[in-house]
Amino acid sequence: SRNTRIERMMSRGENLRVKQTSIELQREFVTMNDDRMCAVCNRAFSDPTFVRYPNGVVTHVHCAKNRHVCPVTGKLFSTKQS
């Protein structure tokens, strides 16, 4: 029906918007140096992998208990899948 097609096109548009936002966030640079400490445990990063939240908080992978909730501020980030 016409309504179904409209809903499908709106959903596609939203999906593209979310993907674009995700790409833009992934392009942001994070500077890691010897002085950078984990925002949760305050220890240095010895492993090259880390988690960066959309608000800029950087933690060790094992300190990031929930990747949708900032461990410092408690801010909830969208759990929508793109």
Report yes or no on whether pTM surpasses 0.85.
no
4-23 exposure pattern, b = at least 16 Cβ within 10 A, e = fewer: eeeeeeeeeeeeeeeeeeee
pLDDT of residue 20: 87
Architecture of domain 31-82: 2-Layer Sandwich (3.30)
pLDDT tens, residue by residue, 21-38 = 878 777 777 888 888 999
pLDDT of residue 82: 44
pLDDT tens, residue by residue, 23-76 = 877 777 788 888 899 999 999 998 888 999 989 899 999 999 998 999 999 999
Instruction: Give the C-alpha separation, 3 to 20, whole Å.
Output: 26
Taking the domains of the chain in order of start, what are their residue ranges? 1-29, 31-82
Q: Is 69 within 8 Å of 79 (Cβ atoms)?
A: no
Greater model confidence, 82 or 78:
78
Residue 16 in tokens: 């593209």
